[in-house]
Structure 1
Amino acid sequence: MNPHHRDEILSGLADAQAEWVTFAAGLPLDTFFAAPAGGWPPVTHLRHLTLTHRRVTQGLLVPRPALRALFGRPGTARPYPELITAYRAALAAGGRAPARYVPAPDTTPSEAVRAGVMDAYTRGAEALRAALDRWPDDRLDRSALPHDLLGRVSARELAFFALYHDLHHLRGVQNVLNPQALEIP
């Protein structure tokens, strides 16, 4: 996978969302809520993604002149593979999600809770895509937004991150539950 244009990113985000929903819906209820040794259960990954989707969406909805006033122009315009390499390096250096993106553990596992979590994830993913869709492709490299691990990034780079982040968490869960799962493209 090597998206560049906004429509390619939007398509990748839609595909990642559909894959997450299909995967999560197919898990037995106890697996959906069970934490593997040293990791998050699938439900927590989805809640985490919903929180990060909300934050990226909020950033993309800020008027572009306000973004430029707040954060200036981006200092980088990395393509997808370079942005992913930088993110992986930040994780390898000990980078972790700030507490505001770490959801509380679920204490009442049920089908109703699973449905609510998946609905919130779906709505959040759709809102993110709608916010990104408002940006003309040629404007994605002109405004900067903050990222907790990567610093100031372009709107395009933030969209790349959102796409990779969904896949990173999905593949991580798949690898824990099935070690033969494929690596992220």
Structure 2
Amino acid sequence: MKAPLSPHTRDELLAALDGAQAAWVDTVAALPLPDYFRAPAPGRWSPAEHLAHLALTHGRVAQGLGVPRPALRLLFGAPATARTYEGVRGAYQARLAAGGRAPARYVPRPVTAHDAATRDAQVAAYVTAATRVRSALAGWPEAALDRHALPHDLLGRLSARELLFFTVYHDHHHLRGALAAPETP
């Protein structure tokens, strides 16, 4: 897995989001089906659960980016911060270290069928949601990314650019989790 660089511009973010999606699709394609559904340890997510979580979060990011910018300004005001990719990554890592976890609405539902059709449907849902994020971002002018805020459950109010930094990092964070070696009995 190639680690993300330090995207900043809209075009760099689009490329980083596309690269993260490609890394996920390639990884899932290479995983044997039983490994895709197997959690590495009790209480940890399987690759299937990581991917389902990302489909949920990407859907929410795409929804937020699709809100008309004047409405975002009325709802959330101006961004409070102007962090770099590294700053957002560090803030997220600190929140996780302090016990932060995904809210219930982003926790994937258990799947009962551990078959290729279920895997393919999960990949398709993720690809659709990730594509929606990139499509929404493509409609944003560069300067607007720093002038409009959106909420984040763990990080608070973020600029649109910061939310996209988070989204890129979040994909890679969960890919690392999905590739964690299972514990041996």
Q: TM-score range by the shorter chain?
A: over 0.9
Report whether the alignment pairs 1:153 with 2:164.
Answer: no
1:122 aligns with 2:127: yes
Letter of the aligned partner of 1:20 in structure 2?
W
The one-letter amino acid paired with 2:81 is: T
Distance (whole Å) between structure 2 residues aligned to residue 160 and residue 177 of structure 1: 29
Q: Answer yes or no: is 1:61 the counterpart of 2:61.
A: no
1:8 aligns with 2:21: no
Query: Deviation digits for residues 8-67 of structure 1, max 9, x if unmatched?
Result: 011001001001001011111111111121311111111000000000000000000000
1:25 is matched with 29
Alignment RMSD: 1.1
Residues paired across the two proteins, number? 178
> Are 1:172 and 2:174 counterparts?
no
Question: Which string of whole-angstrom CA distances, capped at 9 and with x for unpartnered residues, describes residues 89-124 of structure 1?
Answer: 011111000000001111111111111111111111
TM-score, scaled to structure 2:
0.94
Q: What corresponds to 1:34 in structure 2?
A: 38
Structure 2 CA distance for partners of 1:13 and 1:177, relative to 1, 3 Å:
farther
Counterpart Cα distance in 2 of 1:4 and 1:28: 35
Which position in structure 2 is the counterpart of 1:51? 56
Contact 2:39 2:182 in 1 (8 A): no
Output the CA distance in 2 between the equivalents of 1:155 and 1:144: 6
Q: What stretches of structure 1 of length at least 5 have no aligned partner?
A: 179-185
The corresponding residue for 2:102 is 97
Q: Identity rate of aligned residues, in percent? A: 59
Alpha-carbon offset, residue 177 of structure 1: 5.5
Match in the other structure for 1:183: none
Secondary structure of the residue aligned to 1:95 is: coil
Match for residue 75 of structure 1 among 69, 80, 90: 80
Q: 2:181 aligns to what SS in structure 1?
A: helix
Structure 2, unmatched stretches of 5+, are none
CA distance in 2, matches of 1:174, 1:34: 11
- Following superposition, the deviation at residue 171 of structure 1 comes to 1.4
Separation of aligned partners in 2, 1:88 and 1:82: 10
